[in-house]
Amino acid sequence: MVDAFSHEAFLYNDLAEFLDETCGFVREGLERDEAVLVATGGDRLSGLRTFFGTEPDVQLVEMAEVGANPARIIPVWRQFLDEHVAAGRSVRGIGEPIWAGRTEAELAECHQHESLLNLAFGAGPGWRLLCPYDVTALPDDVIEEARANHPMVLDGGRWSASDVYRPERARRALRHRPLAPPPPEAIRLEFTAGDLAAVRRMVQRFSLAEGLDENSTDDLVLCVDEVASNSLLHGGGSGVLRMWREPTEVLCEISDAGSITDPLVGRENPAVDRLGGRGLWLANQLCDLVQVRSGGSGTVVRLHVHLG
């Protein structure tokens, strides 16, 4: 068992290298009686299932299912860790949240997720998390982000400390990577107390008109209502809703004058006895992607829901 959370990037060139290193990582954990959770996809997941598919102490999951929205990944690790630590066992994991084909918005949230892992688990207990990156399929700037978000890097079979690791990123995560402005054609509605019903009606009409199905529309209306309610309570009593469509998704953005101080907002399962504070958690469970940016000039929450 390691004394502290060890967040490690693994830069691989092909499937053979991936399987060689990850199989060794899993086997080492099993030899130490550790429970192992692996979240990856494609031929990497299929290959690992060949070796560990019947191993009771290895859980294999499809990252595209549990982590399509990167904000859902930390709760997966949290639950796995808490369950086994409570039973007196150590754990380790393999998590590959970034793969070729991720959109620019998804990549931004994946980088934020990787940074926030250091904050979410930095206080202990100790465990190892290996994060693979396919250097032949991912652009150079993504690999540089991996080096900035992981203190240890495995590259070409050699471990080294990252000389560009920036742990302070996690505390300032909500201020990084400002969002591109909405398009000029975006529908805009200012709202204050008493306007939530109008907000809900507008989101419903717009979403259905742009091709979103009824269930997804209902989910989006609920999420916008929750976030807009937060603006009324914590954002100065007013906010602005913007809505627009892109080729594959409908987007709703709520902005206000408030400021969020918790970088992990919406990424930790709220306690059962907690009153309030569930709006962004709910949004992350129901939307395909949620982007939160907050600083001295206010807060922006952008909700993405895929069409079809």
Sign for the CA dihedral angle at 243, 241, 71, 171 comes to positive
Alpha carbons 223 and 101: distance in angstroms, whole number: 26
| Residue 250 confidence (pLDDT) above 80 | yes
Q: Are residues 147 and 204 in the same domain?
A: no
Residue 107 · residue 137 · CB < 8 Å: no
Tell which wins on pLDDT, 273 or 167.
167
Q: Are residues 193 and 160 in the same domain?
A: no
CATH number of the CATH domain containing 262: 3.30.565.10
Domain termination residue (choose one: 117, 142, 172) = 172
For 56-105, the pLDDT digits (tens) are 999 999 999 999 999 999 999 999 999 999 999 999 999 999 999 999 99
Task: Take residue 290 and report the two structure tokens written for it.
Answer: 């949620």
pLDDT confidence tier of residue 274, bands split at 50, 70 and 90: low
Domain termination residue (choose one: 142, 172, 202) = 172
For 177-202, the pLDDT digits (tens) are 899 999 999 999 999 999 999 999 99
Number of domains within the chain: 2
Neighbouring CB atoms inside 10 A of 245's CB total 19
For 201-244, the pLDDT digits (tens) are 999 999 999 999 999 999 999 999 999 999 999 999 999 999 99
| Residue 7 confidence (pLDDT) above 60 | yes
Domain termination residue (choose one: 121, 145, 172) = 172
Beta-bridge partner residues of 295: 298
Helix intervals (H) in 186-298:
196-209, 214-234, 279-286
Residue whose pair of structure tokens reads 């494609």 in the numeric block = 42
Alpha carbons 175 and 254: distance in angstroms, whole number: 16
Three-state SS at 51: helix
Q: Are residues 194 and 297 in the same domain?
A: yes
| pLDDT reported for residue 272 | 66
The mean pLDDT of 117-141, rounded to a whole number, is: 96
Task: Identify the helix (H) or strand (E) that includes residue 52.
Answer: helix 42-52
CATH number of the CATH domain containing 93: 3.40.50
Q: Are residues 151 and 203 in the same domain?
A: no
The mean pLDDT of 284-293, rounded to a whole number, is: 97
| Residue 11 confidence (pLDDT) above 80 | yes
| Residue 276 confidence (pLDDT) above 60 | no
Q: Provide the domain limits for residue 79.
A: 6-172
The mean pLDDT of 288-303, rounded to a whole number, is: 96
Asked if the structure places residue 179 within a domain, the reply is: no
Question: Mean pLDDT for the chain?
Answer: 95
Q: What is the largest CA-CA distance in the chain?
A: 61
| pLDDT reported for residue 176 | 80
